[in-house]
Each structure stands twice: as C-alpha cells, then as structure tokens.
Structure 1
Amino acid sequence: MKVVILAGGLGTRISEYTKLIPKPMIPLKGKPIIYYIMKHFYNYGFKNFYVAIGYKGIVLKNFFKKNNFPWDVKLIETGQKTMTGGRLKRLKKHIGNERFFMTYGDGLSDVNLKSLLNFHIKNKKIATLTAVRPPARFGKIKLNQKNNVILFREKSSLDEGWINGGFFVLEPEIFPLIKSDQTFFEKEPLQKLSQKRQLKAFQHKKIWQCMDTVRDKEILEKLLLEKKLKF
C-alpha cells in the first residue's frame, strides 16, 4: 500500500524553525520528524511513500538525495499555496485506483497501523481517520462563590474531546470530493463524507503528538528520549 505524506505547508506557528526549513524537516534527536513518520510505517511493512511538497521543498529533496533509507520515496511538487485537499488531489495520478494511507508531516503516534487498516477494511467506508484525545494544554480548576478552589485537576486527556489525528486510510473515491487546489481536506471533503456516513473513526487511546509549536517539539523529543515512542 502507498503512503501519502502532506509536507508542503508553511508551518507558521513554529516559525522559529520554518523560516529556514519546512516543518517536516524540523529535527528531533538529530533526525527530521518525517523520518520517524516513515520509520513507523516501514516497521509495519509499508515502504512506498509519496510526499506532497511545496514550501521549501528543496530542503526535502536535498535530504532524501543525500540519505539512503530501506524504503522508496517519491517527492511530488504540489505548489507553494496549495491547501491540504489540493495537495492530495495532485497526487491522484500517482496513487491510481487503489486504497492508500495518508497522514500529515508534523505528527507522531504509536498507532497500530495494521489494526487501523483492518478496521477500515471491515467497515467498508471511503475514509477512516485516527481519532485521538490529546492532553489539555491547561489544568482544570473549579471555584465556588467565595473564590475557593473546590476542584483542582492537572491537565488530562479527559478534558479534551476526540480530534482528527491524521493517519487516514482512504479509498480512491475520495478524489471526486476535492474540487481544487484551494480545498481544505478537513473541511468540505470530510464534512461530506460524514454526512453520507462514509467516514469512520479509529479510536487511538495511546500516544499521539503533533508539532505545532516549539513546546510541542520539546514534548516529542522527550517522548523519543524516554522511548515512549519507539521507531
């Protein structure tokens, strides 16, 4: 099965790094986050990657030109200002008429990819996303009328609802739902699938962490150093 990685965005919320390099090339323990994403898929036997590049794509090209990995990587130019849906649509001719994985180039997880795939096949829908419950960014307190704290709870995943964590399994029927380069995959296509009951959620209750900020980067590096995420 082919694996699509969206890696062309601007990454403005972590501009401390993305002024110079694209977000998927931000290093964690000396290797870019996209390496760990690919290693996770490779560990489950998936080794054909199609990377949708855009912003500072030359950095990704140079990296994969200089480094050899036991998996196959094809870097596809998808435009500087193309949105997530548009980037996927531009890869249609490379994907062909077959089922495929898709994820973002800025998030890591220990999701069981074989279980995810089996769940998708069993449910026979056009799309399956991995639903995650990230820890709340802040702890929770409750006050009474005298401003006494009557409840204090450290930040917990229980304070947050389920969100889209990437790691999709998609059928080729997804492509007609994407209109143009300016289509956000997370808006109209997924909303239409939801309305048609063609979108399933694979609930992942273990580790998932995106990299939107420098603080997120520090959390990811800690997870790797403590070997809570193993690749």
Structure 2
Amino acid sequence: MKVVILAGGFGTRLSEETSTIPKPMVKIGDKPIIWHIMKHYSSYGFNDFVILGGYKSYVIKEYFANYYLHQSDVEFDMENNTMTTLESKTEKWKVTILDTGLHTMTGGRIKRAAKYLDEPFFLTYGDGVSDVNIKELLDFHNNHDQKFTMTCVQPEGRFGAVDINTETNEINSFMEKPKGDGAWINGGFFVCDPIVFNYLDDDTTVFERSPLENIANDKLLAAYKHRGFWKPMDTLRDKNQLESKWNDNKAPWKTW
C-alpha cells in the first residue's frame, strides 16, 4: 500500500521556520518531521510514499535527491573524478514527489494524485507525529464495511490544570495539560479507498470539509480511536516540545 503525505501548505503559524523551507522539512532533532512520519510507516513495512508538495516543494525534492549520498559513507577519488560508496545506511523507500500547486487546498492536492492511486492507500499530514499502530489501523479498516477510516484522537488541553480542594479552596496539585474536553477530532492517519476521488472537485476543495462530510453522510467513514500519543507541529512551541522529547530519547512516535 502507498502512503500519501500532504506536504504542500504554507505553515504560516510556524513562520519562524518556514520562511525558507516547507513545514514538513522543519527538523525534529537532525531530521525533518516528514522523515519521522515516513520512518513510522516504514517500521510497519510500508515503504512506498507519495508526497503531495506545493510551497517550496523543490526543497523536499532536493532532500531526497541527495538522501542516498548523505546517508552513506563514500570515497572520492579527486584525480579520476569518481565516487565509491563504502557503506550505505539508506532506506528501502520509493518516494514519489508531486508538485500539486502553490495555492491548492488539501482535497485538490489529493485529486491531483489520482492517476498514481488506483488501490486503497494511507493518507496523513506531513506535520504531525503519533505512535498509532499502523497494522492495527489497517486491520480495523479491513474489518469494517466502510470505504474510509479516520484516526480520531483526543488532544491534550491547551493549558495545565490544578486540583482544588472544594471545601478549603487549597490547591492540592498541578496537572500538566490533561486531555481537553473529551471530544474526538481528526488526527489524520487515514485509510482511503480510491472512491475518494468521486468526492473531490477541483483545486479549491478542502478535504476536511464537504468531502469528509459527504463521505460520512454516505455512511462510508469509520473512526479508529487512538488513545496514545499524537501531536501536530502547529507552532514553534510544539516544535520545541517534540524536539525536547526526541533529544531526551522519550519520543513515543519512534517505533523503529
């Protein structure tokens, strides 16, 4: 199965990082966040990727064009102008990168990839990581009658909370970012049937609006509830939190 990654947005809320590179190329540790996402899928045996680029997509192309060289030990013979690979640490990935337009919306980006996707495929965003079990997600999808599965998550609260004694008003303890209001939201990590293209119109189509709403109305959308780790990288604060977990060897999404 192919893994489709939406990677074309402007990332305006992370402008400190995205003035020169696209958001999926912002680094967590010494690797772009899209690399972390791809390593996660690859750890479950899925190595065929279709990246839907847009804003500064040439940066993504250049990264993968030079990936083999950067991951390998090499010897250069300057006199004869030759290069010999001594040891390779590269991946077993096949990576297709599509330029889906600078201002194209998410649904339009997916539609532009239609000719490459004639079988069920995974779909996710290029700016969020999770420890979702991809095999269990696929098994769940295959065991249900719907054509689509969306991973649903309960995001952490925006602020920390305090436990207050209702009788004395004394603060008993502090809690760091408990779950929000209990609502389930779209966490990405979809499984999609090619019938999805029937719900997509043009470049202005926002996948998360009328297409998903119509798919749900047609009773074709199942919810896979993920109660583990999930975090999007929307702001510099999010980026720093993810990087801190990675540098401390406490990254829940590291499944490889």
TM superposition score category, shorter chain reference = over 0.9
Equivalent residue for 1:191?
Answer: 213
Equivalent residue for 2:108?
Answer: 86
1:111 is paired with a residue of what secondary structure? coil
Q: Distance in 2 between matches of 1:54 and 1:84?
A: 10
| Contact kept in structure 2, 1:139 and 1:152, CA below 8 Å | no
Normalization by structure 2: what TM-score?
A: 0.84
Equivalent residue for 2:86?
Answer: none
Q: Please provide the CA RMSD for this pair.
A: 2.1
2:124 is paired with a residue of what secondary structure? strand
Percent identity between the aligned chains?
Answer: 48
After TM superposition, list the pairs within 5 Å mapping 1:99-114 onto structure 2: 99-114=120-135
> Cα gap change, 1:189/1:228 in structure 2, threshold over 3 Å: closer, same or farther?
same
Shift of 1:160: 4.2
Per-residue CA shift, 1:33-62, capped at 9, x if unaligned?
Answer: 010111011110000000001100110011
Stretch deviating more after TM superposition (2-11 or 68-77): 68-77
1:6 is paired with a residue of what secondary structure? strand
Equivalent residue for 1:17?
Answer: 17
Equivalent residue for 1:216?
Answer: 238
Q: Distance in 1 between matches of 2:188 and 2:103?
A: 21
Equivalent residue for 2:223?
Answer: 201
Q: Which has the larger radius of gyration?
A: 2
Q: Does 1:227 align with 2:250?
A: yes
| Contact kept in structure 2, 1:127 and 1:169, CA below 8 Å | yes
2:223 is paired with a residue of what secondary structure? strand
Equivalent residue for 1:53?
Answer: 53
Shift of 1:124: 2.1
- The aligned amino acid for 1:134 is P
- The aligned amino acid for 1:82 is T
Normalization by structure 1: what TM-score?
A: 0.93
Equivalent residue for 1:5?
Answer: 5
Equivalent residue for 2:187?
Answer: 165
1:157 is paired with a residue of what secondary structure? coil
Shift of 1:196: 1.7
Q: Where in structure 1 are there 5+ consecutive unaligned residues?
A: none
Q: Distance in 2 between matches of 1:140 and 1:37?
A: 30
| Contact kept in structure 1, 2:163 and 2:174, CA below 8 Å | no
| Contact kept in structure 2, 1:126 and 1:171, CA below 8 Å | yes
Equivalenced residue count is: 229
Q: Distance in 2 between matches of 1:142 and 1:99?
A: 47
- The aligned amino acid for 2:207 is F
